[in-house]
Amino acid sequence: MVFRGLGLQIVLPSSSKTFQQSWIASGRILFLIAVSGLGAIGLVVLSALWAGTESDAAALDRQRQLVNARLREQVDQVAHVIGQFGNGYLTRVYPAARSSGGSSSLDAVLTAAAGSAISQTAMSAFGYDQAFVVDEKAQLLMLADAQTEKRYRWMKPLFLPLLQDARLGVRPGTVSNERTPSSMESRLASPGRSNTALANLMRLEGRPTIVGVVAINDPEEGQRQTMRQFLIVVRFIDGAALDELSRQQGLNGARFARTADADENEVAFQIDATANGEPIGFIVWRPDLPGSRVIGRLMPALSIAALVIAILFSVLLVRLRSSLGELRKSELHARQLALHDVLTSLPNRALFAMRFDECLAETKNSAERSAVALLDLDRFKAVNDTFGHAAGDELIRMAAERIHSLLRPGDTLARLGGDEFALLLRDIKDHDQVLPAICDAIVAELGKPFPLLRGEAVARVGGSIGVTVVPDAGRNADDIMRYADVALYEAKMGGRGQWRVYSPSMDGGRNARDILKNELREVLAKGTASSADGPQSDPIANKPDFGSLEVYYQTVHRAEGGGYSASGAEALVRWRHSQRGLLTPASFIPVAEEGGLIDALGFWVLREACRAACKWPENTFVAVNVSPAQLRRPNFAEEVFAVLQESGLPPSRLELELTESSLIEDNSDVYTVLKSLRSQGVQISLDDFGTGFSCLSHLLRFDIDRIKIDRSFVSQLGTKANGAAIIGAIVALSRNLGISTTAEGVETEYQRDFLAALGCTDLQGYFFSKPVPLCDLDSFRTAESAVA
């Protein structure tokens, strides 16, 4: 992604690519969650359907087994009944037929009459559909009308195999070699007789039929051979028998069909012939399917439940995706802030460092020469103090525009912070006048008047530039920047409003800075020794040769409720130098950091602030700035606790202000220190939020209690819509995370009311109070008097 500011293209570093990859991964996770949720719902539905299908299959299989068993039972019943009937008739009803030779006409008539009687008895008494008395050759031995004889002729070929099988009957005690009955075939040997009753399932006249055969005469031994006679009975099972079967087995709408023409909601059970296994037909019925019945009752409720779950899940996914989108926008905005300056839209220190490293890498093995310049606005502090921060910000923007207008397309202008700028000038020739021309033009342009506040004020500041040429000054980035700083210091010491190119001889000129460093060390040593004996003394009396350190306080006011009462104060260090006057931190903090004095200076301010805050109202706090170097100290938390115990200030009334740069370095160590501080109740605030590497994860990982909105955003209220939008976003984010917000740089009543309406919890700025010594801090004077 490309950002444009003052004609410069700012390209996001490779971390944006990593963020895009993480965004894609988040999308994939959302997709997997959606698929998993839908799969779970589908699995529940499929499980219910599967359970119902299995239940239906089991019920259907059971019904088929019952039908098969019932058919077998009917076949066995026919065999049993005709077996009993045949034996009973032999002994009681038909003795003549059993002993008669059947040779005379009278015997034939008697046999036919007896056969008719047997047939009628079988049909009337036992309910068979047909009954025939025949001999071994399947000839009728009974009186029958023409229709019966005609019907029998069609059936005769099917009866012959049964008669041949029936003639295999043997006497009791002998071995029989007859085959084992099939699944639909039944044999019954009567006790004490050799007659065997046989029942088979076959198709007669296109209908499923049970046919039973039993011998009805049995010649005794010693008699001449007589003709064997058999009773054949027929029972059709597609009529009344099927209706009975349907009632007994619960076969709804059972019917017989020659083909499997079952409807969609019916099943067909195939009936096979006993003799050869050929299909006879099908019994078709509507099965009782409990699984489908249960599913039919549950499916509406299950469908509604699945729909509700799907809707809720969809809403959750949409909400989650929206939250990820908002987080993505916030992260992109944070990355934008990490790479460009909010006030001027110029590249910031981070982007300048990346471009400078790229320049060094490209010129390492080439003859190309480049120049690095550091630029400071002269007398900028006086403009801020005289006209306010709004005028100072306007001056910064105008100076950036003027400087940029003088640069070439390939040059880089960056704002490092405050009124400090950096230049990267590529492709500088040995004998051309590009570098002198650019530097002279910048100095001349910055020396012109700056109309501020819509023409109500005019500022004359000027600028100083320190330049170093690459690779003349070396190839190490830190050394090159240090050389440019030395050249800038020489330009300032030479009277300001000029530019200097670094030369090795300038290192001797660093004595001025070294002198300032030594003076600060001596002042700090004396100040620390005196503060160990008691509270801060009068800075004028008994002051050392190089002056003394003082702590000024700028009050912080509550925005809620409309009263704007003081809720606390921020401690700000000043150096009242004996020759240079009152120095602000910007004049000596860099010297303290370079000389390793920042830790001692920071703890001196902390001790003095805690002592002073003990006399303030109990519901107020004191805020103290902490440098990154202090946070890197492993025992920093223990030293803070020692100061609190010494002064008697409750930990909850101390607020330590950090910069985001201090959170970027040594994350693990800083996290441990801050966790220890917060465990005892010390409050943690994030200073100048939005102007550094603003990563949202810092707010959660380090458990920040307060965000301080930078004055550069506040100054844009009423002039640029972006300022209000950014502040509103920060306040909304803080409110959702339960974090307090303090807006810095409040200088007008409009800004105060607007920030209070946006939801800022506290306000700070010249509108309420400038930084003042402790003796001039009127906001807490009543409380101090009461304590005294």
Regarding whether 190 and 113 lie in a shared domain, the answer is yes
Regarding whether 163 and 117 lie in a shared domain, the answer is yes
Using CB atoms within 10 A of its CB, is residue 590 exposed (0-12), middle (13-18) or buried (19+)?
A: middle
Regarding whether 621 and 498 lie in a shared domain, the answer is no
Regarding whether 538 and 471 lie in a shared domain, the answer is no
Q: Which residue has the higher pLDDT, 105 or 191?
A: 105
Residue 757 lies in a domain: yes
Residue 787 lies in a domain: no
Q: Contacts from 583-592 at CB under 8 Å and sequence distance 24+?
A: 584/381, 586/381, 586/418, 588/516, 588/520, 591/513, 591/516, 591/517, 591/520, 592/517, 592/520
Per-chain mean pLDDT for the chain: 78
DSSP label of 425: E
Regarding whether 703 and 671 lie in a shared domain, the answer is yes
Domain, as residue range, for 759:
513-779
**How many domains are there within the chain?**
3
Question: Which pLDDT band holds residue 539 (cuts at 50, 70, 90)?
Answer: very low
Residue 62 lies in a domain: no
In this structure, what are the phi and psi dihedrals at residue 155, rounded to the nearest 5 degrees?
A: -90, -20
Give the domain-ending residue among 455, 472, 502.
Answer: 502
Give the domain-ending residue among 289, 304, 320.
Answer: 289
Give the domain-ending residue among 452, 467, 502.
Answer: 502
Question: Which pLDDT band holds residue 509 (cuts at 50, 70, 90)?
Answer: low
**CATH number of the domain within which 576 lies:** 3.20.20.450
Q: Which residue has the higher pLDDT, 294 or 703?
A: 703
Cα 1 to Cα 552: distance, rounded to the nearest angstrom? 44
Residue 30 lies in a domain: no
Which pTM does this prediction carry?
0.43
Residue 9 lies in a domain: no
Regarding whether 530 and 426 lie in a shared domain, the answer is no
Say if CB 740 and CB 707 are below 8 A apart.
Answer: yes
Say if CB 484 and CB 468 are below 8 A apart.
Answer: yes
DSSP-H helix ranges across 340-379: 349-362
Residue 258 lies in a domain: yes
User: How does pLDDT run across 574-625, given as a tens digit for each residue?
Assistant: 988 887 788 888 778 877 877 788 888 999 999 999 999 999 998 899 999 9
Cα 535 to Cα 599: distance, rounded to the nearest angstrom? 20
Regarding whether 101 and 199 lie in a shared domain, the answer is yes
Residue 8 lies in a domain: no
Regarding whether 665 and 612 lie in a shared domain, the answer is yes
Q: Can you give the pLDDT at residue 696?
A: 67
User: How does pLDDT run across 99-125, given as a tens digit for each residue?
Assistant: 444 456 676 777 788 788 888 888 887
Regarding whether 375 and 260 lie in a shared domain, the answer is no
pLDDT at 400 over 90: yes
**CATH number of the domain within which 360 lies:** 3.30.70.270
Regarding whether 578 and 524 lie in a shared domain, the answer is yes
Regarding whether 231 and 148 lie in a shared domain, the answer is yes
Residue 96 lies in a domain: yes
Q: Which of 200-214, 340-354, 491-505 has the largest mean confidence?
A: 340-354
Q: Which amino acid is at 763?
A: L
Regarding whether 537 and 455 lie in a shared domain, the answer is no
